[in-house]
Chain A
Amino acid sequence: MQLQEMLVAPFTEFAFMRRALAGSIALAIASPPLGVFLIMRRMALTGDAVGHAILPGAALGYLLAGLSLGPMTIGGLVAGLAVAIGSGVVSRTTILREDTSLAAFYLISLSLGVTIVSVHGSNIDLLHVLFGSVLALDDTTLFLLATIASLTLLALALLYRPLVLETVDAGFLASVSRSGGVVQVAFLALVVLNLVGGFHALGTLLAVGMMMLPAAAARLMTLEMTAMLVIAVALGAAAGYAGLIISFYAGLPSGPVIIMTAGLFYLIALVFGPAGGFLRRLRPRRHLEG
């Protein structure tokens, strides 16, 4: 078989591969840009914490209605938002900083989630809930993923300027506009929404990988915000495609391989990244150059 054919044939031959690819690309369009903003705002661990926080909500939904999309999505959204916003409130009203309260909240919700799933005497292994099933995307799940991607793009287009301003210089935005708080909450809501979408395809833990790894790699490749967003999306989509192809030919589980591919991109960028990678920093550079 020719290489070209090998790279396309799995998708022409199998609908489940096309669905998996469509789902991965939908995730890759929306999640990595949010990851870029999280990184620029030094909130990389927020994604992780919110990812864990989704579990008890989704588990409750699963308890009440079984493996059905709606209740698990709504449960995950509520739990994720509660933790994201709750830890922000704690950091503003108590002595604890946001990272501490995030860690506390996500540990509480993770243990709560595991307890809920276990008490149910789960007939489905917790791993399935944690890891999702990118090979088993049905119409409604795909529709959900596409809707989330579209909503996220629209919202990012609307929020772009204030979000960049707030990320780069929150003080300046506060001096010219009172939208800072709204922007921040809307942004967190988008993060939660995307992680819940990713949860259906990749599971709670790996969904965070699709958000953070392409973004971290893109951060190492350019300093320019727009380019960073575009590169992050491209890397996310490439990881989705390459991961599925590897899973198809090597017989490896799909979700983890997609995230490992994104991780590989990150490691390569770590060494060769022109904007702050390891090799770049070894070479002497001109004064004031990035």
Chain B
Amino acid sequence: MVKLVGLAIFLACALTANASQAAADNAGKIPVVATFSILADFVSNVGGDGVTVAELVGPNGDAHVYQPKPADAKALREARIILVNGLGLEGWIDRLIKASGSKAPVIIASKGITPQQMEENGHVGLDPHAWQSITNAITYVTNIRDGLIAADLGRQDYYRANAAAYIDKLHALEKQVSDKITQIPPERRRIITTHDAFGYFGRAYGFSFIAPVGVSTEAEASARDVARIINQIKTTKVPAVFLENVTDPRLLKRIADESGAKIGGTLYSDALSPPDGEAPTYIEMMRHNIDVLTVALTQ
């Protein structure tokens, strides 16, 4: 009996705590769930103090092959905005949203971007890695700003100001990136990475990227693909190969050893690093990538 009373008291407290917390949320911050770390960084910059951001796939995680946890469904149910990349990156998100019973509006960050096609093993698909071009990142930020305003009209001036300030930073970043690229001779702008995450980056900044595995990190490489890459490196004299933070480095090391290209460093493609790492924010990620590329390709 004592236990039961205790339980009742506990439940009552929990309920009031929940209710008061919900009230505080309504009065204060908007809970946003972003599917992966790069989107979370965008929305934190635009939302500032107006939002609390949760990310489903954390730092160094691979959004292509993610295992949902119950806590994620819970976060989605409590979210007032769900932020996804779209373009087929998060194949698991629709089911997860449905399963969580969430009614929150879904913002597709890549809306309005002209998607690039990728061809791999005969089938053509959309390339989801649009954020690798800073111009696209600005579109992401605009979409996120509009989504936040739609959900929280009261703070629209605040969101507009944050977005404008962040877009200014992105323009400055784009300038830095183009300046750095001019240091790399055009004929050396050829790169091998572990998966095709840099299609937009390549198009935007004049690099050609070759990857031993297709668009998605789910595929296993075949001997034919590996042989083709090695031949390609040898015939086109690709100077360096780059690792990514989300894929298996062993295969790329093998390819580098055999083709005579050197390993240029780690590029961040689909996920940021943890806060104490090399690329904890989008801006630092792009800066890190271009630094790694410049150092490896200008030597």
Contacts and interface: CB of A to CB of B under 8 A. Distances in A.
Interface of A: 10, 13-17, 19-20, 67, 118, 121-125, 127-128, 131, 133, 135-138, 244, 247-256
A10 B248 contact: no
Interface of B: 58-62, 65, 67, 121, 217-227, 230, 245-251, 253-255, 257-258, 271
A10 B223 CA distance: 9
A252 B253 contact: no
A125 B60 contact: no
Contacts of A16: 223, 226-227, 230, 254-255, 258
Contact of B250 (A17, A127, A138, A250): A138
B38 to A, nearest CB: 15
A121 B65 contact: no
A135 B227 CA distance: 10
A251 B250 contact: no
A248 to B, nearest CB: 4
Contacts of A19: 254
Given A16-B258, A133-B248, A136-B253, A121 B224 contact: no
B7 to A, nearest CB: 30
Contacts of A138: 250, 253-254, 257
Nearest to B122: A251
B222 A67 contact: no
B227 A136 contact: no
Nearest to A249: B224
B55 to A, nearest CB: 11
A244 B221 CA distance: 12
B227 A17 contact: yes
A252 B220 CA distance: 8
Given A123-B60, A125-B65, A244 B271 contact: no
Nearest to B270: A123
A124 B249 CA distance: 9
Contacts of B255: 16
A33 B83 CA distance: 55
A186 B247 CA distance: 37
Contact of A121 (B58, B121, B223, B230): B58
Given A16-B230, A123-B246, A128-B248, A253 B221 contact: yes
Contacts of A13: 227
29 contacts: A10-B223, A13-B227, A16-B223, A16-B226, A17-B227, A67-B250, A123-B60, A123-B245, A124-B62, A124-B246, A125-B247, A127-B220, A128-B248, A135-B226, A137-B254, A138-B253, A138-B254, A244-B223, A248-B223, A248-B224, A249-B224, A250-B224, A251-B121, A251-B224, A253-B220, A253-B221, A254-B220, A255-B220, A256-B220
